[in-house]
Amino acid sequence: MALQWPASVAWLAADVSAWPAWPMLVAALWIALLVDALLGEPAPALHPVVAIGRYLQWTGRRLPERPPMSAFAAGAAAWWLGAGVIVILACAVQALAAAHLPAWAGALVLGLALKPLLAWRMLKTEVQAVEQALARSLDGGRERLSYLVSRDVTHLTESEVRESAIESLAENLNDSVVAPIFWFALLGLPGAALYRFANTADAMWGYPGMHGGRDWQWAGKWAARADDVLSWVPARITAALLIGLGVHVGWGTLRTEAGRTPSPNSGWPMAAMALLVGVRLAKPGVYTLNGEGRKAAAGDTRRTAVLGGRAVLAAGVFASTAIVAMARWP
């Protein structure tokens, strides 16, 4: 007897290969950016990244810590399971938009699905909130910064609080905006969804040792390496976008500064922002970027937000151009 696939599976298999036309992809990208600018984040109950976080939290509590190979295999398997589900769902949404809706409706659906995978407005608001809290008290600034970073903030000075906020904005400019846009331009909604899953998994599992009472050295290793790979090109694009906004810095200088951080990727946008704004950015005992720069002042936080916004627009323009160019490639 012939194998009978469920109708929903047959529909997806038939239409998933239908790639959206380039006008739909470009329109969807700008719809997502516009919705982000005007409305910000959707409610948690409707937010796919929140759902990803819940899956990772639930699964992470059940991953073994030892022996090393068992922990690594379990972490990798849980990563692939979650990634597979999110990619299949993204493929289904893109297939619906491309093959079953009018072009304008397809662009709207695709844009609204892409929006939660981008988070520029929320990032900018949180960083500005640190500066506003600092204006009231140092303790208030430290507390607000603790929402953004995982490091110990209790002994940071006022300038160090600002440095940490600027670092967070620069690093997450890549993680929360440029990288999802890059993967959307390259692989559509499934690409952006896969990246956000990988980046969230790294944030929750990708620790080199103890965190939250668990040893992640092996269970989180696959998540950490996967994020390193998927962020490699976007991190350097983010740095290039920032440097292109107004200061001439040689690529060699930027590479040297970026290499001072233990991460293969996060140092690039952070070093670019440090050089662009002219400030020193440091994580005590770990790295110092642009060591000859001045201490961060209140105006630097605002300037960082402005420069980040310009980089987001530039990313949208370059991604749109790339989508059109790839569509017309013979």
Phi, psi of 289, rounded to the nearest 5 degrees: -110, 135
159-208 confidence digits (pLDDT tens): 999 999 999 999 999 999 999 999 999 999 999 999 999 999 999 999 99
CA distances from 216 to 63, 69, 212, 230 (A): 9, 12, 9, 20
Q: What angle do CA 174, 179, 183 make, to 5 degrees?
A: 175
Q: 3-state DSSP call for residue 289? A: strand
Contact call for residues 179 and 231 (beta carbons, < 8 A): yes
d(CA 308, CA 50): 24
Amino acid at position 234, single letter: P
DSSP string, 60-109: HTTS---SHHHHHHHHHHHHHHHHHHHHHHHHHHHHHHHHSS-HHHHHHH
250-294 confidence digits (pLDDT tens): 888 899 999 999 999 999 999 999 999 999 999 888 999 999 999
Packing angle of the helix pair 103-114, 179-205 (nearest 10 deg)? 30
pTM value is 0.92
Tens of each residue's pLDDT in the chain, 330 residues = 444 545 545 545 546 667 889 999 999 999 999 999 999 999 999 999 999 999 999 999 999 999 999 999 999 999 999 999 999 999 999 999 998 899 999 999 999 999 999 999 999 999 999 999 999 999 999 999 999 988 888 889 999 999 999 999 999 999 999 999 999 999 999 999 999 999 999 999 999 998 888 999 999 999 999 999 999 999 999 999 998 876 677 888 899 999 999 999 999 999 999 999 999 999 888 999 999 999 999 899 999 999 999 999 999 999 999 999 998 876
Strands 214-215 and 281-283 turn out to be unpaired
Q: Which residues lie across from 279 on neighbouring strands?
A: 294
d(CA 137, CA 123): 21
User: Which residues have a Cβ under 8 Å from the Cβ of 114 and sit 6 or more positions away?
Assistant: 28, 29, 31, 32, 180, 184, 189, 192
